Amino acid sequence: MIDFGLILLIVFILLGVLFAIYCIRIIPQANAYVVERLGTYDRTLAQGVHFIMPFVDRIASKVTLKELVKDFAPQPVITKDNVTMQIDTVVYFSITDPKMYTYGIHNPINAIENLTATTLRNIIGDLELDETLTSRDIINSKMRSILDEATDPWGIKVHRVEVKNIIPPRDIQEAMEKQMRAERERREAILRAEGEKKANILTAEGEKEAMVLKATAKKEAMIAEAEGQAQAMERIFTARAYGIQAIKDAAPNDAYIALRGMEAFEKMADGQATKIIVPSDLQNVATSLTAAKELLFEKDAPAAEKKK
């Protein structure tokens, strides 16, 4: 037979498990649940364990409190000088009020995307093409300020907005590339000319310094040579003076002087001279030579006797 008591027990256990699963909610960190009671907002549940009434309370929405990133598709915008370009943006935001996020607006993400597109068109419409390409920081700051103020009633905090890509038309891109290429070539030509100029200046300065050093070295060499010649001549004249003084102090006789004269005459005759000057008083010279020989013989005789 069927035990109805056991079946009822099993049914009650299953109902208890289902009741516990429905009524006991564990909410993770950085999340919040919006609870409605009989179709009306009742409370917001933070992280932790919570109990809700069955058939009375209902989880209306589950909201994450982490910072979210939305990369929106490129939007066509027109600049002040009537140039159409594609710009895509990235929005960083977080939910600060789960209740306002749930009941403030329908489909908040789609609303942020549309608001970003319209705000971007308004800002770019006041800028020219060149300003748009060089004013990303200004565009980001203005968009963040406008979006943060507009999304505040929705319980959303916009932290920053970044312009990801700015894509101008193809012909504008080609013109910009040509302009940049011409600018780079101009800078290259200027740098090359400046380099050549500096090289020529350095070369001229080097040649100038070399000439100055050569002239200085030549001058110092000539001075040193002149000083050497002067010292040599001074020493020669000093030696001659010492010789003359020594001869003067020795008081040589006429025979010695005549002998020295004949030696000078002999040297003159042995040279390359084509003329020989013969003194007129040759008899006197011969007499003087005879006396000089006798004098020298008398001086040499004692020395020879001593050697014997």
What does the pLDDT look like over 169-211, one tens digit per residue?
888 778 777 888 888 888 888 988 998 889 889 888 888 888 9
Tokens of 224: 């040193």
pLDDT at 263 over 80: no
Task: Quote the pLDDT of residue 287.
Answer: 57
Q: Name the pLDDT band for 259 (thresholds 50, 70, 90).
A: low
The 10s digit of each residue's pLDDT in 55-78 is 888 888 999 999 999 998 888 888
Task: Quote the pLDDT of residue 225.
Answer: 86
pLDDT at 305 over 70: no
153 close to 104: Cβ distance less than 8 angstroms: yes
**Distance separating alpha carbons of residues 282 and 290, to the nearest angstrom:** 12
Task: Quote the pLDDT of residue 31.
Answer: 93
90 close to 144: Cβ distance less than 8 angstroms: no
- Least Cα distance to 151 among 265, 225, 47, 70 occurs for 70
pLDDT at 220 over 60: yes
Percent of the chain topping pLDDT 90: 22
**Distance separating alpha carbons of residues 113 and 109, to the nearest angstrom:** 6
- Identify the residue with better confidence: 300 or 22: 22
- The 3-state secondary structure of the chain reads CCCHHHHHHHHHHHHHHHHHHHHEEEECCCEEEEEEECCEEEEEECCEEEECCCCCEEEEEEEECCCEEEECCCEEEECCCCCEEEEEEEEEEEECCHHHHHHCCCCHHHHHHHHHHHHHHHHHCCCCHHHHHHCHHHHHHHHHHHHHHHHHHHCEEEEEEEEEEEECCHHHHHHHHHHHHHHHHHHHHHHHHHHHHHHHHHHHHHHHHHHHHHHHHHHHHHHHHHHHHHHHHHHHHHHHHHHHHHHHHHCCCHHHHHHHHHHHHHHHHHCCCCCCCCCCCHHHHHHHHHHHHHHHHHHHHHHHHHHC
The 10s digit of each residue's pLDDT in 35-49 is 998 889 999 999 888
The 10s digit of each residue's pLDDT in 114-158 is 999 999 999 988 888 888 888 888 899 999 999 999 999 999 999
pTM of the model: 0.55
Q: Which of 25-29, 287-291, 302-306 is least confident? A: 302-306
Q: Name the pLDDT band for 307 (thresholds 50, 70, 90).
A: very low
| Domains of the chain, each with CATH number or no CATH | 4-64 (no CATH), 68-168 (3.30.479.30), 254-307 (no CATH)
Q: Which of 46-60, 74-88, 282-296 is least confident? A: 282-296
Task: Quote the pLDDT of residue 25.
Answer: 85
